[in-house]
Structure 1
Amino acid sequence: MLHKIVFAACIFITATATGIADQADSRPPNFILIFCDNLGYGDIEPFGSTVHRTPHLNRMAKEGRRFTHFCVTAGVCTPSRASIMTGCYSQRVGMHQNPRDGHVLRPVSPYGLNPDEITIAEVLKQRGYKTGIFGKWHLGDQPEFLPTRQGFDRFFGIPYSDDMTREVGQRIGERLSGNDWPELPLMEGEKVIEAPVDRDYLTKRCTEEVLTFIEKHNDEPFFIYFPQCMPGSTSAPFASPEFKGKSKNGPWGDSIEEIDWSTGQILDKLVELDIDENTLVIWLSDNGAPLAKDMSNPRRGSNRPLFGRGYTTSEGAFRSPTLAWWPKHVSPDTTCTKLATTMDFLPTFASLAGEPIDHKVDGHDIRTLLVGDANAESPYAAFYYYYLDQLQAVRSGPWKLFLPVDDFVRHPHFKRGEPTHPLLFNLEDDIGSERNVASQHPDIVERLTGLAEAARTDLGDVGVTGSGQRPPGHRTGQPPEAQVAR
């Protein structure tokens, strides 16, 4: 394995008493991260859905903890997934954009997550964990960027989004090298085992692989990353025959109800094997739903009661419906309203596993928030909302400030050609981001503007390279290789 970069600004995390028993002197806990694709904040019953039946997620919320201010770090797939793997903003690890693909990696890209970055899987392997990923990777499809080169013992799934098919590539043509896109491959390890994959069975087959992995490794610590392929990026998501046509919300609802079934299968397996009290399961989505043209129509998801579509810097794009389940550890039937993010998984899991980390990350140990400590506060003095390389907003406490910008590719509030001005929302009092109170709180606008300047210095902005930015992985010297024969 390539040498991992260690930075001077280090974070040392050890297992200390926080209401969870010290795991360092006994078998550390198992971790399962279920990470859906494009599922919206209001798409499941624990967060208000009335069109999707999610009894297993209801159970997870009843027996565990809801997080109503849990954020991802981007409104789209690749940068969001880079943060969950590295504990860093995607701008820090160079996965927010590239000149070939734009915002998200496309098939046969020469770019990917830099092998020198330290992933959550690599951290846990140092503690003896068995590691597996089942589902959608989307951090590079060339051999040096695949999960098996980034700390995972096992990979079963697809290397990028379910809509990145050969047919779509042919329609795109020369743009984004569409003519070179292969059939959508199902991979096991570094081998293509099926192309094109039957997308109707992705949820079912990946779930079966997860259950097999749990059974095989139930007597040793394991980390399962389950990035569900659905609801995905097509206008009509896929589902197996048992679920197709069964929901009240067409293909979108069918896919979500199958994901709910999948979650129930996993929870039941943990109970059956008597390892539920030693397994932390976290369930969330990589970004908000894209929404239909008529935003009140749920056929492409719902982010209600939040404002905005996925793929933007709105709350509807960044805030994820998050559940934590760990019997006897996570307080049952409780809700956390404090800000936390996907960058926190790496340092938190490392701490629980008793594996100190000594490299720079942007996330924090949130064990106290997980278990429901009444005195726990958000560890974030500031949290940043980027679109590509543009810093558009900053949050501190309940306050979110959209910064005035001269130009932009996409914005949830501003329109091109019109003047922009500061927009300040209190996200606790105004869940729909409807009331701009910037004029009433000039002191808060000034403070958050100062926080934005610190972000630009470290993570960059349009035309500005941040001092803390690191390069993405980039294959040089030869053209990308398609993973499947054309």
Structure 2
Amino acid sequence: MFNISNMPMFNNIARGVLILCIFKQALSAERKPNIVVFIADDLGYADLGCYGNNTLKTPHIDSLARDGVRLTHHVATASVCTPSRAALLTGRHQMRSGLAPSTNIRINFWVGSRGGLPPSEITFAELTEQAGYRNALIGKWHLGNHRDRPGDHAHHPLSQGFHYFYGLLGTNFDDFANDGSKVVLKQRPYFNIQILASWLSIVACLIYAYRAKYIGVFLFAVLVFSLTAICWYLYYIMNNLYFLNSMLHRNHDIVEQPAELVGLSKRLVHEGLEFITNSSGADSPFLLVMSFVHVHTVLRVSRDWDGSSAHGIFGDAVQEMDWSVGQILDALDSSGQRDNTLVYFTSDHGAHKELGVHGGCNGVFKGGKSHGAPEGGIRVPGIFRWPAVLPAGRTVDAPVSLMDLFPLVAKAAGISLPDDRAIDGRDVLPLLKGDTDVTPHEFMFHYCGSILAAVRYIPKTGGRVWKQVSHMPNYLPGTDVCKFGCRCSDLILQDPPLIYEVISDPSESHPIDSQSVEYADISKKVEAAIKVHEASLEPVESMFSYTNVLWRYTYQECCNGTFPFYCQCSDSKYSNKFYV
């Protein structure tokens, strides 16, 4: 029988093909993993099926938990967006970057301000950039734009390691509905009346001084004018968030103003899929951060998801977000990159309980968004999937922090951690893989603004997690909510501090006896850890000082014109009705 394999030429070709296959397999094995990070906004711990919710449909996020590692004790460093996201990106407490405010403004409120993530900070995108990754951030940034002068973009994502950006530089607000709803007036319902009263008082004083022929009437008039200008300024910036902040950027350019939130999730998904497609053909790996606008109010969904859930617009938004996750996961599958892609899903903090049916669910945990120490504001979903490395279906009950993503990304990308700064995130890869059940954390610190409100202590013996709470929100009587959001300036000092064992008492209902030997031992260890932690905090400029956080006319961006004229444009890329 004729056998082509007996031919010398074929043998040479076969050897060549075999060598080529082995070489290609070796290259594939050495290829750094892609990294996809999903960040939900204001999503509660119990808003997902894989965390016990049986009334919302989240099959794609649930599949991540089924095929990867689900964290049950996953915590944020803050219960509001900006500081929590800064810690996630840098692996460092927000105190170290100046993003722990001493004022009641605890987020980057205006896009046209000069506060944000300092350029001196190193994000995990800058780590992957060093390793040759292509990096994109799609969705919400909320960590600043301009810094020292208009247009310098020192806080912009493209200055923090990302190569492509599409989304909101700020955050979503109720004001973006443009239906009369105002987020500031929800917190301060008489704000407009107070400002008007201030104006009338100033005018009355001026009239009195003039009629009394007060000698310094001119100087007084100057003072009155200045005070009136301040009142007008505060009224304007607080009452016009829709006009000042509602915009979408592509890289440095405004492409839509005001932002159209209906169908925005579809557009974000399209941008993410486009980035994966463009990156799949490249030799370098990629980092994609899908930072969802869902489920922050104001809630808007595309027509396909309107009325899809039994929980109104909030449920619709959760399910549309789950669909968005599924689209990205399908793209990884179809491009053959599933096994070698590290996927991480989380929320920046807990659900906003004061919003009721529009605010999500934190399960058994007390409190929520903006509350500081209580578990409901800082205990969040956390899922890792990396089929080539991590086991499927594993559940980790040991405490893990959002900041732990930073060293994990560094390890995955083959980059050493920066040695010129304190890194608070820890290497949790052995824990995720199942090589150990012990967390690398012994103490975790939880802030409300610049106030250290609680400390979590995890003995190495395992089985227990202690939480010492020194400051609690000033809740409405008989509830675990505030009027709209809890202010750090209203915190109630607990003297002596409360200590809970949050494994057996996750709702923080039964503090241990402050006169017990156990209390004294735990408190002594926690107080010693606080001293070490505080000694490690170097003085930094506060990004939330009034000069940094308040709106500036010269920093305000406007498309198709000069502010405040003609600030309207639509993203021509998405004129198709499919994206509605």
Query: Percent identity, aligned pairs only?
Result: 29
Provide the rounded CA distance (Å) in 2 between the counterparts of 1:446 and 1:405: 20
The Cα of 1:452 is off from its aligned counterpart by: 2.3
The reply to whether residue 403 of structure 1 matches residue 403 of structure 2 is no
The Cα of 1:365 is off from its aligned counterpart by: 1.7
* Equivalent position SS for 1:277: coil
The aligned residue for residue 11 of structure 1 is none
The aligned residue for residue 464 of structure 1 is none
Alpha-carbon contact 1:64-1:333 (below 8 Å) kept? yes
The reply to whether residue 306 of structure 1 matches residue 368 of structure 2 is no
The Cα of 1:180 is off from its aligned counterpart by: 6.9
Alpha-carbon contact 1:345-1:363 (below 8 Å) kept? yes
Provide the rounded CA distance (Å) in 1 between the counterparts of 2:492 and 2:38: 41
> Which of the residues 126, 141, 156 maps onto 1:146?
156
* Equivalent position SS for 2:96: coil
The Cα of 1:480 is off from its aligned counterpart by: 4.5
Provide the rounded CA distance (Å) in 2 between the counterparts of 1:406 and 1:431: 17
The Cα of 1:352 is off from its aligned counterpart by: 1.4
The Cα of 1:233 is off from its aligned counterpart by: 3.3
> Which of the residues 258, 262, 270 maps onto 1:196?
258
The Cα of 1:470 is off from its aligned counterpart by: 5.9
TM-score normalised over the length of structure 1: 0.85
List per-residue Cα deviations over 1:161-201 (Å, max 9, x = no partner): 11075764997763383367525001100000001111122
Q: Greater helix share, 1 or 2?
A: 2
The Cα of 1:122 is off from its aligned counterpart by: 0.9
The Cα of 1:453 is off from its aligned counterpart by: 2.8
1:44-63 aligned within 5 A: 44-63=48-67
The Cα of 1:59 is off from its aligned counterpart by: 1.3
The Cα of 1:299 is off from its aligned counterpart by: 3.8
Alpha-carbon contact 1:340-1:378 (below 8 Å) kept? yes
- Cα pair distance change 1:480/1:52, threshold 3 Å: farther
The aligned residue for residue 555 of structure 2 is 481
TM-score normalised over the length of structure 2: 0.72
RMSD over equivalenced CA pairs, Å: 3.0
Alpha-carbon contact 2:102-2:449 (below 8 Å) kept? no
Provide the rounded CA distance (Å) in 1 between the counterparts of 2:27 and 2:378: 32
1:408-447 aligned within 5 A: 420-439=495-514, 440=516, 441=518, 442-447=520-525
The Cα of 1:438 is off from its aligned counterpart by: 4.0
Q: Which amino acid aligns with 2:170?
A: Y
Q: Which amino acid aligns with 1:348?
A: L
Provide the rounded CA distance (Å) in 2 between the counterparts of 1:416 and 1:42: 26
Provide the rounded CA distance (Å) in 1 between the counterparts of 2:255 and 2:425: 36
> Which segment drifts farther, 418-427 or 153-162?
418-427
List per-residue Cα deviations over 1:344-376 (Å, max 9, x = no partner): 111111111111122322111211122232x24
Aligned length: 450
List per-residue Cα deviations over 1:62-119 (Å, max 9, x = no partner): 11111011111110000011111111100111012266x7200111112111112111
The Cα of 1:454 is off from its aligned counterpart by: 2.7
The aligned residue for residue 461 of structure 2 is none
Alpha-carbon contact 1:422-1:438 (below 8 Å) kept? no
The aligned residue for residue 169 of structure 2 is 159
- Cα pair distance change 1:149/1:194, threshold 3 Å: same
1:76-87 aligned within 5 A: 76-87=80-91
The aligned residue for residue 79 of structure 2 is 75
Q: Which has the larger radius of gyration?
A: 2
Alpha-carbon contact 1:33-1:224 (below 8 Å) kept? yes
The aligned residue for residue 4 of structure 2 is none
Structure 2 unaligned spans of 5+: 1-25, 147-152, 186-190, 192-231, 459-464, 476-481, 565-580
The reply to whether residue 386 of structure 1 matches residue 447 of structure 2 is yes
Q: Which amino acid aligns with 2:501?
A: N
Provide the rounded CA distance (Å) in 2 between the counterparts of 1:162 and 1:203: 13
Alpha-carbon contact 2:45-2:51 (below 8 Å) kept? yes
The reply to whether residue 285 of structure 1 matches residue 350 of structure 2 is no
> Which segment drifts farther, 246-255 or 364-373?
364-373
> Which segment drifts farther, 206-215 or 401-410?
401-410
Q: Which amino acid aligns with 1:363?
A: G
1:31-430 aligned within 5 A: 31-97=35-101, 102-107=105-110, 108-142=112-146, 143-163=153-173, 165=175, 168=182, 174-175=233-234, 177-178=237-238, 181=241, 182-218=244-280, 219=282, 220-234=284-298, 237-292=299-354, 298-312=357-371, 313-358=373-418, 359-360=420-421, 361-373=423-435, 375-397=436-458, 398-403=465-470, 420-430=495-505
Provide the rounded CA distance (Å) in 2 between the counterparts of 1:98 and 1:292: 23
